[in-house]
Amino acid sequence: MKKNYLKNILAFTLIEVLIGIVISSIMMAAMYTTYSVVNNSYSQVTDRAKISRSGRDIVEMLMRDIRMAGFKYRLGTNTLDFPSSSYLQFIGGDSTIALSHDPIIIEKNAPLGFSIDGGGDPTPKHSDDDKCCDRIHIVYDDFNQNDVNQPYKRYKTTYYAAPVNEGGDTRYAVYKTVQSWRQNLDQETGTWVSDCSECYVGQKIRDHIVDMEFIPLDASGKRISPIPKPGEDSLAMANLYKIRAVDVRITFRSKQEFYRYKANAATPRLVKALGNRTRAFLDKYLRDSVVVTIHTRNIGSGI
């Protein structure tokens, strides 16, 4: 009885077990490969989406501020005992950039970082051929009838780049500073301050930037060159008020390495510029640019 019972027991042979293990291993390897491909594709799509979203967000901020450049508020006849138009002192022409009230000032390939008083040593670039980034100052007026001491307001917004070094990843980020001109009704002059409720200094708004480029255009859509800055001759300064639009290019870099292989020197990955700042890269990062033309609305001969 016992021998017959043992003969009816079914089991796998060693060869069958080995074949099963091999087949299972192949299936697991195929599943892992498929997962890796899908996960890498998802990561690439996510990186592209993040770069695109970063570009759109900062362009929206720049568009709002550039369109406001040169705006002056006029109250007109009123019962509030306020001046009918702005009484705020206007400083321009041969002043310094730190003091200037000119609507738009562009500093090409500016020193990294920004000091609100115009002082301080510039931060060095990451490399000798590094041309990042332009800096733009935007000034516009506003009004607050609830402020009986200073109803007319003036703000200066500055966008600039500064270096970031986290975990050995050396890169740049975009920062924004907002100042306010403080001058009460009974004062003939004032000063830029950074302690108002709407002000802030050095707020990081976007990381992993490669370059930020601004090109001023006149009414005919032609580039204004050379780009004027305060302290230059009167003819050059007059060009400050010929700006009717600004071409903006912002290039971002992926947070993680994107490509599987590095580029070679013969066929590098190029980042095209609006001017003479096209650069070649050999690493594995994805770089993508957002280019837009932003029209000014308040800059003209009447300012």
Distinct helix (H) and strand (E) counts, the chain: 3, 10
Quick check: helix, strand or coil at residue 56? helix
Domain residue ranges of the chain, discontinuous segments joined by +:
30-295
Q: Return the percentage of the chain with pLDDT > 90, whole number.
A: 44
pLDDT in tens, 80-99: 889 999 999 999 877 788 89
pTM of the predicted structure, to 2 decimals: 0.82
Please state, in angstroms and as integers, the Cα–Cα distance from residue 212 to each residue in 173, 256, 287, following that order: 10, 20, 13
pLDDT in tens, 18-53: 888 888 888 888 887 776 666 666 566 666 666 666
| Rounded-to-integer distance, Cα 40 and Cα 34, Å | 10
Helix (H) or strand (E) holding 165: strand 152-166
Confidence of residue 67 (pLDDT cuts 50, 70, 90): very high
Average pLDDT, the chain: 85
pLDDT in tens, 183-231: 999 999 999 999 999 999 999 998 899 999 999 999 999 999 888 778 7
DSSP letter (8 states) at residue 259: S
pLDDT number for residue 106: 93
Confidence of residue 126 (pLDDT cuts 50, 70, 90): confident
Please state, in angstroms and as integers, the Cα–Cα distance from residue 222 to each residue in 82, 216, 244, following that order: 41, 8, 10
**What is the number of other CB atoms lying within 10 angstroms of the CB of residue 143?**
14
Quick check: helix, strand or coil at residue 128? coil
pLDDT in tens, 8-19: 556 667 787 788
| pLDDT score of 303 more than 50 | no
| pLDDT score of 301 more than 70 | no
Confidence of residue 159 (pLDDT cuts 50, 70, 90): very high
Nearest residue to 297 via CA among 57, 64, 89 = 64
